[in-house]
Chain A
Amino acid sequence: MSDGVRSGALRYVLQVLAYGAFAAVIAYFSTSPPYRLRGDNDALVKLSFSHSAQLVQACRERSEAELAKLAPNMRTKMDCPRQRADVLLELDMDDKPLYRIKTPPTGLRQDGAATVYRRLDIPAGRHVFRARLADGPDGIFHFAREVDLNLAPGQVLIVDFLTSEGGFVFIHG
């Protein structure tokens, strides 16, 4: 075999190696290394709601003097402040606090819904969850619900608050 042929063959081998290295990098990083999302024996609680709390102040009727001070096109009889109360939420697991939050309403005038979204890793197994929510200016928990659930590893428990459903909803797959 001449030197030319040998060097040509060597070049092809090196090219195959170069293409192989390129393919190996892409093939490996397109799936690996695997990313750990949770502990082997963990379940997940997703606590989320979007809830419009009560108004901080109730509507009231304006007096004649107050109406006179307003521009003619603004003279509506009822004065309804738009600001809503903060929402207080407490989630306990097995009689221990799992999550506490006081969340203000959204919006420049604080008249939007209060929103929460949290992911909470918990050990899998049987747990008693108790959720309470206060959405008025008095801070009293008007909504509460307690459930006893057995969560398998990897199971997701969604804790939502839907007024249309009458309060807390616990969804588990």
Chain B
Amino acid sequence: MPNLLRSLRTSDEYLTGALDSAFPAADNPWRHLGSLAFLCLVIAVVTGTVAFALYDTSVAGAYESGRRLQLDPWMLGRLLRGLHRYASDGFMLLSLLHLVREAARGHYGGVRWFSWISGVPLLWLLWIAGLTGFWLLWDARALFSVTATAEWLQVLPIASDVLARNFLTANALNDRFFSLIVFMHIGIPLFLLAGVWIHVQRVSHVRIWPPRALTVGTVAVFSVMALVVPAESLGPADSGHIAATLSLDWFYLFIHPLVDLVSAQGAWLLALAGTLLLCVLPFVPGLQGLRAAQSASLPAIVDLNNCNGCSRCVADCPFGAVVMVPRTDQLHHRQQAAVITDLCAACGICVGSCPSSTPFRRIEDIVSGIELPDAPVADLRRQLQQKLAALTGPMKIMVFSCRQASDWRAFADASTAVLPLECAGMLPPSFVEYATRLGADGVVIAGCRECDCEFRLGDRWVQDRLSGAREPRLRAAAPRDRIAVVWAGSQRQLLTETIDGLRFRLKSGMRLPDSQTINAQDAPLHEPHDD
């Protein structure tokens, strides 16, 4: 299993990189699979609502109402049906890809277990919602699917009578069947919407919608598909005849061939085993995520003597693990930060946001208002001082590297010191300026691939803090042309090139225009991705 996850992670990085060459990093659809899936759900709900107004919930009228839409002379019905169908297919495909990507990145354990577990029933709900949608059309495919589903359900001890007998002849069915299916097809997506809300409860700054460019692109693609490859009904349901072959929508109707292949009991076993595996994955020892070795694991702690209740840590925490509560000491501030330890990922982003995390403080053992017990700010300052003092080569470069990205040890040499951090977002901007004061000629901040921060928001906050868009800001007087930021992830070559490039630039005295300082890559500020 770990090998499988590692292979998936390598494939994920390859795909992410490949799509980064087509899309701007912030608009890379591979990073927005969850929000794109939600967009598909919304398209399906909106088009389904209109279609329901035109649908006839009767045995005699169900098929014809679908055909009428299909034959609408203005092609609006074709557009409506196509959008509904293809968005539903996209919903299933993107949801599965979202699941695989998050699994590949180890985002099922630790503080993410709740999002992972709460996503599992959503898969069942979306599948049932889609499956029932095919029955409403009451064509040959619907009759086959509903009969096959009844046969599959029959192996469960839920009914004493034979469910499939309800579809044996045309006379066996009445209009109430369609009322029931409409009720399910509308009701389940409502549960889905509620489920999505629960699914994202434990992440902050959640972006439920994909970027505008992707939204427009996706709707346009579905619209073109709807018009060019219309989603059409097959012939009307006929219990007296069975076709030799049937066109299936494999995104939802895969269950019927699966049942034929492995038997009804086998399919139930597979479905339940798959569900169980997904549910226990976060709790399997040795599989709880793929975080780098030696990572901090103890949750952040608040030091009231240094907490002034500014709430920046609350604003920056990617998992909503820090909240403001009424002050419990006698200091004059109204509130204090408090860490919900179960939600804390020990990423240190809160440390990077705390105004008291500055190395310029005169006291010997500085303590920040919020600290990672495994990596206190005083230790960071001490390590920074020692590592810079130990450099002997010319043109000294200080690299602040995220542990989750490159193998940071490989870059240390006589002229390059590397200070590993839990996340690039853990770095208070004042440390950058402090490094230059201690003799670093240049500073490199390295993290996960752009928009792929292991802790969701680290790269965004670093960009915002350095550009002055977010507190704590890099001071205006800081030497920005001696700073490079690179979102290299595991691309060692890119990090090496950035370090060498900065060194060359500093040696040659080359000054970059303001727009190109700090960012090694052309990286616009972006919204968080959907994990």
Instruction: Give residues in A with beta carbon < 8 Å to B.
Output: 11, 14-15, 17-19, 22-23, 25-27, 29-32, 34-40, 42, 44, 46, 48, 50, 106-107, 112-113, 115-117, 153-156, 158, 160, 171-173
Cross-chain contact B162 with A48 (CB below 8 angstroms): yes
What residues on A are CB-neighbors of B169 within 8 Å? 158, 171
What residues on A are CB-neighbors of B250 within 8 Å? 29-30, 32
Residue of B whose beta carbon sits closest to that of A31: B247
Q: What are 21 sample pairs from A and B whose C-beta atoms fall under 8 A apart?
A: A19-B221, A22-B29, A22-B90, A22-B221, A26-B90, A26-B93, A29-B89, A29-B251, A30-B89, A30-B249, A30-B250, A35-B256, A35-B257, A36-B244, A37-B244, A42-B244, A44-B242, A46-B168, A48-B168, A50-B162, A115-B161
What residues on A are CB-neighbors of B165 within 8 Å? 48, 50, 117
What residues on B are CB-neighbors of A112 within 8 Å? 160
Cross-chain contact B151 with A18 (CB below 8 angstroms): no
Partner of B240 from the list A19, A31, A107, A156 (CB cut-off 8 Å) is A156
Q: A15-B217, A29-B89, A158-B169 are in contact. Are A172 and B240 (CB under 8 A)?
A: yes
What residues on B are CB-neighbors of A107 within 8 Å? 160
Partner of B161 from the list A26, A39, A113 (CB cut-off 8 Å) is A113
What residues on B are CB-neighbors of A173 within 8 Å? 238-241
Point out which of A19, A40, A106, A112 has the most chain B C-beta atoms below 10 A from its C-beta: A19
Cross-chain contact A15 with B22 (CB below 8 angstroms): yes
Tally the A-B contacts, defined by beta carbons under 8 Å: 116
Cross-chain contact B241 with A156 (CB below 8 angstroms): yes
Q: Distance (Å) between the CB of B321 and the closest chain A CB? A: 35
**Interface size in chain B (residues, C-beta < 8 A):** 43
What residues on B are CB-neighbors of A156 within 8 Å? 239-242
Q: A17-B22, A113-B160 are in contact. Are A26 and B246 (CB under 8 A)?
A: no
Question: Is B86 engaged at the interface, CB distance under 8 Å to the other chain?
Answer: yes
Cross-chain contact B22 with A38 (CB below 8 angstroms): no
Question: Is B190 engaged at the interface, CB distance under 8 Å to the other chain?
Answer: no
What residues on A are CB-neighbors of B248 within 8 Å? 31, 34-35
Instruction: Give residues in B with beta carbon < 8 Å to A.
Output: 19, 21-23, 29, 85-86, 89-90, 93, 144, 151, 154, 160-162, 164-165, 168-169, 217, 220-221, 224-225, 229, 231, 238-251, 256-257
Q: A18-B29, A30-B86, A106-B160 are in contact. Are A35 and B23 (CB under 8 A)?
A: no
What residues on A are CB-neighbors of B29 within 8 Å? 18, 22
What residues on B are CB-neighbors of A29 within 8 Å? 89, 249-251
What residues on A are CB-neighbors of B162 within 8 Å? 48, 50, 115-117
Q: Distance (Å) between the CB of B217 and the closest chain A CB? A: 6
Residue of A whose beta carbon sits closest to that of B161: A50
What residues on B are CB-neighbors of A40 within 8 Å? 244
A117–B167 alpha-carbon span in the complex (Å): 12
Q: Distance (Å) between the CB of A15 and the closest chain B CB? A: 5
Partner of A25 from the list B19, B93, B231 (CB cut-off 8 Å) is B93
Partner of A31 from the list B161, B238, B242, B249 (CB cut-off 8 Å) is B249
What residues on B are CB-neighbors of A38 within 8 Å? 242, 244
A49–B160 alpha-carbon span in the complex (Å): 12
What residues on A are CB-neighbors of B164 within 8 Å? 48, 117
Cross-chain contact B245 with A35 (CB below 8 angstroms): yes
Point out which of B154, B165, B224 has the most chain A C-beta atoms below 10 A from its C-beta: B165
A48–B150 alpha-carbon span in the complex (Å): 13
Residue of B whose beta carbon sits closest to that of A153: B244
Cross-chain contact B144 with A37 (CB below 8 angstroms): yes
A44–B254 alpha-carbon span in the complex (Å): 22
Cross-chain contact B241 with A30 (CB below 8 angstroms): no
What residues on B are CB-neighbors of A171 within 8 Å? 169, 240
Cross-chain contact A32 with B247 (CB below 8 angstroms): yes
What residues on A are CB-neighbors of B22 within 8 Å? 11, 14-15, 17-18
Q: Distance (Å) between the CB of A119 and the closest chain B CB? A: 8
What residues on B are CB-neighbors of A23 within 8 Å? 221, 224-225
Further 5 A-B residue pairs, CB within 8 A, beyond A29-B249, A37-B144, A171-B169: A18-B22, A35-B247, A117-B151, A153-B244, A154-B244
A107–B161 alpha-carbon span in the complex (Å): 10
Cross-chain contact B23 with A26 (CB below 8 angstroms): no
What residues on A are CB-neighbors of B229 within 8 Å? 27
What residues on A are CB-neighbors of B224 within 8 Å? 23
A37–B144 alpha-carbon span in the complex (Å): 9
Cross-chain contact B160 with A35 (CB below 8 angstroms): no
The 8 A-B pairs of least Cβ separation, nearest first, read A173-B240, A14-B22, A34-B245, A117-B162, A106-B160, A31-B247, A29-B250, A35-B248
A30–B248 alpha-carbon span in the complex (Å): 7
A101–B257 alpha-carbon span in the complex (Å): 26
Cross-chain contact B238 with A18 (CB below 8 angstroms): no
What residues on B are CB-neighbors of A160 within 8 Å? 168
A30–B162 alpha-carbon span in the complex (Å): 30
Cross-chain contact A39 with B241 (CB below 8 angstroms): no
Q: Distance (Å) between the CB of A138 and the closest chain B CB? A: 25
Cross-chain contact A115 with B241 (CB below 8 angstroms): no
What residues on A are CB-neighbors of B93 within 8 Å? 25-26
Residue of B whose beta carbon sits closest to that of A50: B161
A59–B251 alpha-carbon span in the complex (Å): 56
What residues on A are CB-neighbors of B23 within 8 Å? 11, 15, 18
Q: A26-B86, A156-B239 are in contact. Are A37 and B19 (CB under 8 A)?
A: no
A40–B243 alpha-carbon span in the complex (Å): 9
Cross-chain contact A158 with B168 (CB below 8 angstroms): yes
Cross-chain contact B85 with A18 (CB below 8 angstroms): no
Q: Distance (Å) between the CB of B426 and the closest chain A CB? A: 33
Cross-chain contact B217 with A19 (CB below 8 angstroms): yes
What residues on A are CB-neighbors of B154 within 8 Å? 117
Q: A48-B168, A116-B162, A160-B168 are in contact. Are A154 and B242 (CB under 8 A)?
A: yes
A112–B160 alpha-carbon span in the complex (Å): 8
A11–B225 alpha-carbon span in the complex (Å): 22
Cross-chain contact B244 with A115 (CB below 8 angstroms): no
A153–B243 alpha-carbon span in the complex (Å): 9
Cross-chain contact B161 with A35 (CB below 8 angstroms): no
What residues on B are CB-neighbors of A31 within 8 Å? 247-249
Residue of A whose beta carbon sits closest to that of B251: A29
A25–B86 alpha-carbon span in the complex (Å): 11
